Amino acid sequence: MAMTLLEKIIAAHSDKESVRTGDIVDIRIDVRVARDFGGANVVKHLRDNMLTVNDPEKTLFTFDCNPTGSDQKYAVNQQLCRLFARENNIKVYDIDSGIGTHLLIDEGYVFPGLTAVSTDSHANILGAVGAFGQGMGDMDIAAAWHKGKLWFRVPPSVKIVFTGDLPEDVTAKDIVLNLLGIFGANSLLGKSVELYGECIRNLTLDQRITISSMATEMGAIIILFPPSREITDFCRNLSGKSFSPVFADADAIYQETHEIDVSKFKQMISRPGQPHDVVEINVVIQQKIDSAFIGSCTNGRMEDMHAAASILTGRKVAPGVVLKIVPATDSIWKQCLSEGILEIFKRSGALISNAGCAGCAAGQVGQNGPGEVTVSTGNRNFPGKQGKGSVYLASPQIVAASAVAGYITTPDKIPSEPSVFKTSSSSLTTSRSSVSSGRSVSSKPETLEGRIRIIRKDNIDTDMIFHNRYLAVTEVKEMGQYTFDNLSGYEDFAKKTSPGDILIIAGKNFGSGSSRQQAVDCFLSLGIQAIVAESFGAIYERNAINAALPILTCKSFDDLDLKEGDKIRIDLKTGMIKNISNDKQTFADPFSAVQMEIYQNGGLLA
């Protein structure tokens, strides 16, 4: 049977000759990674359940969220992971190494056709080399470390064919921002996306990484690039292994095929609040900024450093503006040093940090304060994700030019004199990580009844559900009080919710964003019986299933005529949902056999 690129990778790692959309299969995981964010939770799961590590040579720790060890919680978690690594002969890429997903490529662990999982929700960066990478919650990662394999539902595949020539001023970041403008945050939800066309074949590894890294923000499982000869040779040299790259069959069947003319692409920027709120740069040009950030897993590569240096050479950062630059890996940092790029950055007035995730992980330089306006090369600008201020997302070229100008601009419109502040203010915010505690197991009925709490909103991300300022909370029983604390209009959700309630999300892409398990555990803490939504973020869906929290996908609630406080009945086996208050009913997707098994067992690791 003809297969798409991801289907071929999954089939090769399962006991199946072929797979198709919707199949649930166990797949072997070639590389299994835990970060300092989530790593301690993985260790806790393994120890609490007395589980061994399947293959230490395929198992890694990467400390990239807080590579300075400056936060006490992170420092505790990192040392806990180090001790576990010593006991089990596991490799640790410590705080001087850089972003884990980049290290998997640059250190030769991952090459075309392989599979890898990480507690990093941007593990799908590995699609840049034609490999399958998936971010998962700490329970999934613990299972992968122990078993060497995980269950996985084969997603539908989408093919995008690019035509035309890219305009000279359009960067890789502009490409993915243009795609976000076209597809939004949920039209590719839960799908594997393959990119084709002459302009795609010509993209460098760094450019491919930029595009793949924002698959998560588009709701996609992964953005896959068929590996070019240059990418294949690069990976062979780094890994020292001989392999044959994997490609889709010529007659593979895709759920959707799109043709896009890249000659119409523009320089774009994402406005604060949502990565997919994308506009042409001229819409916000001359917006005054307080700070700028160049780095993250999206734009921390060597080509990004070169692009920033080309603009900052001989120029100064505008008075009152703080420019923070963080290379993705230590090897990139050292190359910047040897080429004199760090000196260019310092002469411009930029702050340079050691390699790591930086601001968007809330653990290193890059956070902003209330009222602060930041232009960033990161991949997320959800409220509170990079601090209390507002964050615009753009290319390194635009960020560097804006830092010099003092306001958002393009490299060709840098003024001779920068904009200056008339007034200024600042404040600080901190954020911490946590180790989740165990989850309680109760009786597991297949029919649920309860009062509904209803929220009519798309793209509710995990920072809205359980904000990162509460990540220091380690007890599940304490998490419920903070549920939706960062969702405007629902800050009092926890106070108005009773055990046994059922949450209805009349919207798409619930649980997008970070891979944090706490965004599931807070509902268990409140005693929420189930969550029903039009669609779920891919990582969130796995986390909920693995924690035995019943979640169901219902494409429309119109037939139920729901009102806040109505009482409903849900049959998990059939998917039937009945509004007892008015006797109307509809159907959601029923539990799969895997979901029912995990639910009845009380969790993936039970």
Give the CATH number of the domain where residue 309 resides: 3.30.499.10
What are the C-alpha distances in Å from 399 to residues 308, 375, 390, 405, 456? 8, 6, 14, 10, 35
Each residue of 348-358: pLDDT tens digit? Answer: 999 999 999 88
Each residue of 376-422: pLDDT tens digit? Answer: 999 988 887 777 889 999 999 999 999 999 999 999 999 999 998 87
Is 215 inside a domain boundary? yes
Each residue of 24-44: pLDDT tens digit? Answer: 999 999 999 999 888 999 999
Residue with tokens 């090897």: 331
Is 430 inside a domain boundary? no
Whether residue 146 sits in one domain with residue 20 = yes
**Domain encompassing residue 335:** 269-413
CA neighbor of 468 nearest in space, from 380, 542, 543 = 380
Is 238 inside a domain boundary? yes
Q: What is the pLDDT of residue 512?
A: 93
Is 436 inside a domain boundary? no
Cα–Cα distance measured from residue 95 to residue 326, given in angstroms and rounded to the nearest whole number: 13
Cα–Cα distance measured from residue 264 to residue 437, given in angstroms and rounded to the nearest whole number: 51
Whether residue 361 sits in one domain with residue 238 = no
Q: What is the pLDDT of residue 447?
A: 96
Q: What is the pLDDT of residue 363?
A: 58
- Does residue 80 sit in helix, strand or coil? helix
Residue with tokens 């924690």: 547
Is 515 inside a domain boundary? yes
**pLDDT of 205 strictly over 90:** yes
Average pLDDT over residues 112-135: 96
CA angle in degrees (0–180, nearest 5) for 495-600-147: 110
Whether residue 282 sits in one domain with residue 221 = no
Q: Where are the alpha helices (DSSP H) in 32-171?
A: 36-48, 72-88, 100-106, 138-147
Cα–Cα distance measured from residue 380 to residue 216, given in angstroms and rounded to the nearest whole number: 10
Whether residue 223 sits in one domain with residue 160 = yes
- What is the maximum span of the chain, computed from C-alpha positions, in angstroms? 72
- DSSP for 282-314? GGTTT-B-SEEEE-TTTS-SHHHHHHHHHHHTT
Query: Which domain-ending residue is among 264, 291, 325?
Result: 264
Q: 10 Å Cβ neighbour count for 283?
A: 12
- Residue 257 pairs in a beta bridge with 159
Question: Which distant-in-sequence residues (6+ apart) come within 8 Å of 572 by Cβ?
Answer: 446, 447, 448, 550, 552, 590, 591, 596, 599
Query: Which domain-ending residue is among 264, 298, 326?
Result: 264
Cα–Cα distance measured from residue 55 to residue 437, given in angstroms and rounded to the nearest whole number: 26
CA 93 to chain centre: 20
Q: Using DSSP bridges, classify how beta strands 322-325 and 351-352 pair: parallel, antiparallel or unpaired.
A: parallel
Is 440 inside a domain boundary? no
Whether residue 294 sits in one domain with residue 407 = yes
Average pLDDT over residues 457-477: 89
Is 242 inside a domain boundary? yes
Residue with tokens 């601009």: 409
Residue 424: CA count within 13 A, CB half-sphere: 10
- Residue 149 pairs in a beta bridge with 28
Whether residue 504 sits in one domain with residue 377 = no
Each residue of 145-190: pLDDT tens digit? Answer: 999 999 999 999 999 999 999 999 999 999 999 999 999 999 999 9
Q: Sorting pLDDT into bands at 50, 70 and 90, what band is 125?
A: very high
Is 432 inside a domain boundary? no
Whether residue 137 sits in one domain with residue 33 = yes
CATH of the domain at 551: 3.20.19.10
Q: Sorting pLDDT into bands at 50, 70 and 90, what band is 117?
A: very high
In 262-394, the DSSP E strands lie at 268-270, 278-280, 291-294, 322-325, 351-352, 373-376, 390-393
Q: Sorting pLDDT into bands at 50, 70 and 90, what band is 439?
A: very low
- Does residue 22 sit in helix, strand or coil? coil
Question: Which distant-in-sequence residues (6+ apart) come within 8 Å of 289 by Cβ?
Answer: 321, 373, 374, 375, 392, 402, 403, 406, 407, 408
Whether residue 273 sits in one domain with residue 259 = no
Whether residue 223 sits in one domain with residue 113 = yes
Whether residue 145 sits in one domain with residue 56 = yes
Tokens representing 76 are 């505790």
Count of structural domains within the chain: 3
Each residue of 468-517: pLDDT tens digit? Answer: 888 878 789 999 999 999 999 999 999 999 999 999 999 999 999 888 89
Whether residue 221 sits in one domain with residue 282 = no
Whether residue 200 sits in one domain with residue 224 = yes
**pLDDT of 343 strictly over 90:** yes
> Burial letters for 365-403: b for 16+ Cβ neighbours within 10 Å, e otherwise?
bbbbbeebbbbbbbbbbbbbbbbbbbbbbbbbbbbbbbb
